[in-house]
Structure 1
């Protein structure tokens, strides 16, 4: 492998693919966002490790997954953006668990578990995203989370070292894990138990039905916008502050579930983030509660003036 020559930066050798000025909006569920200076798709964990080991510490590094709970700002992302794709999407049944690549979709993992008669991972069918992101944020829904089922996780550090950590090393808490700074999740093992396939299928159908009825699953949206404050529900606070249906440019607070933001067709990242900040301000004024973003916002903003309606 030879070093990859680009106009502004000589990147380390890579077996995978590199694209300069790659537009990222189409990769996100919101369908907004500017370009990556360099979008890097490693072939596998070893390729990723070699690339990072040789990448200058001065080069900004960002990792994106399924981008289901992500707003990429309109000015794009400087430096290198890593996106794990096909080489990180394997899913395999292993005894009482599932070993899955970081790029495997949560719903796909739950389907493999169900097909093997393994219970305990049905909650993943209700989480839009991939396993790498689920581990990084201890994703959870429908009565369970990653903390309840994670055995171990494999990572590549910013320095290019491949490591395996047990779940306890991550100190998982509500929507949070303590991965080493800059670490990238590449694979994980999720623990399950033998169960009745009919009951597992029924639970997954119940989750899918609940999502369809209560969340705008067919819209350009992300996951829950704000984390639930202790003992409270974010959507109830947003509703109490009169934000249901609130708009800013092409962004809207969903009528069906007001802890979701929507791109109604022509939203920018600034519309979505600005609307979220307006919701936070109104909730604070009305209830005294400071909502914490659950959706990640990354990249550079462009100067723009929006009007809230």
Structure 2
């Protein structure tokens, strides 16, 4: 699925054709990126997108924790922000500027050291700042919209713009960030706090995750959004899906809103299992679960079916 190299702009970072994405995502499954671009800095990204044929799709990739990459791969350019975008700096007594590639652990730890409270929940989200901003990432009663001041974005056109909180149109696990836009940094604001108390809250959150979630498995995090008035995991459990298996994919026994790659699952296995869970939940409770995990790319085989579902 390689494009002719001559049609792509030159870069100062890394640009690879037919790059495997499975090693870069938590499920450890899926196809290749037609092109994988790791820019050297924001100018490199801006220049590249500005010169890139507008018809070529662009997708940003963070830690790959909330993502199914389909087995047929991802057409166009996948942008992955590396170390140059993983820096966090303190702006004032309660604010941090965080690179789009910075992890939730780095942001919350930097906030703790600076005596900034209110960002502890980021410790529990396995992703990067760019993903938090795009998906309004949240946990333990807090969301990105509660702490975001503004973000700097490179649009698909290559233009660099700064967007304030109210321009993102946040709702539950969703923003109105334009398609193909890449978040290169964000300013988060908390409140004054004591480092020891902040660490204690981070420890509490980490312990709660360890107890309730299959953290050491090949998974994609929370699979479905919580419907209004319901918990997704409870609906999945009530529909009899705990431990449900399709091929190499399984609904977690520990937390039923997590899907697992038991070792050799294809992305088709994982996605088809999720669709079967949605079907069973709808039949049992009448509630239609919405995917929280993003599903991107092309199917290797368009004829998807649910043959082989077992428990």
- TM-score between the two structures when normalised by the length of structure 2: 0.96
Is the aligned partner of 1:246 residue 2:254?
no
Match of residue 46 from structure 2: 49
Match of residue 307 from structure 1: 308
Report the Cα distance in structure 1 between the residues aligned to 2:299 and 2:9, rounded to whole angstroms: 28
Match of residue 141 from structure 1: 139
2:263 to 265, 271, 277: 265
User: Is residue 249–residue 273 contact of structure 2 (8 Å, CA) maintained in 1?
Assistant: yes
Is the aligned partner of 1:167 residue 2:165?
yes
Cα shift at 1:279: 0.1
Report the Cα distance in structure 1 between the residues aligned to 2:199 and 2:240, rounded to whole angstroms: 38
* CA offsets 1:9-57 (integer angstroms, 9 cap, x no match): 5211211001111000000000001011111111111110100000001
Match of residue 72 from structure 1: 69
Report the Cα distance in structure 2 between the residues aligned to 1:255 and 1:21, rounded to whole angstroms: 35
* CA offsets 1:257-295 (integer angstroms, 9 cap, x no match): 000000111111001000000000000000000000000
Match of residue 130 from structure 2: 132
Report the Cα distance in structure 2 between the residues aligned to 1:60 and 1:136, rounded to whole angstroms: 17
Cα shift at 1:184: 1.0
User: Is residue 3–residue 34 contact of structure 2 (8 Å, CA) maintained in 1?
Assistant: no
Cα shift at 1:137: 0.5
Is the aligned partner of 1:33 residue 2:34?
no
> More deviation in 210-219 or 61-70?
61-70
Gaps of 5+ in 2: none
User: Is residue 57–residue 180 contact of structure 2 (8 Å, CA) maintained in 1?
Assistant: no
Match of residue 17 from structure 1: 14
* Cα RMSD for the two superposed structures: 1.3
Summarize the Cα distance change of 1:97–1:245 in structure 2 as closer, same or farther, 3 Å threshold.
same
Match of residue 293 from structure 1: 291
Report the Cα distance in structure 2 between the residues aligned to 1:136 and 1:58, rounded to whole angstroms: 22
Report the Cα distance in structure 2 between the residues aligned to 1:180 and 1:10, rounded to whole angstroms: 24
Report the Cα distance in structure 1 between the residues aligned to 2:33 and 2:184, rounded to whole angstroms: 21
* CA offsets 1:119-162 (integer angstroms, 9 cap, x no match): 00000001110010000000000111101000000001111100
What is the number of equivalent residue pairs in this alignment? 305
Report the Cα distance in structure 1 between the residues aligned to 2:286 and 2:218, rounded to whole angstroms: 30
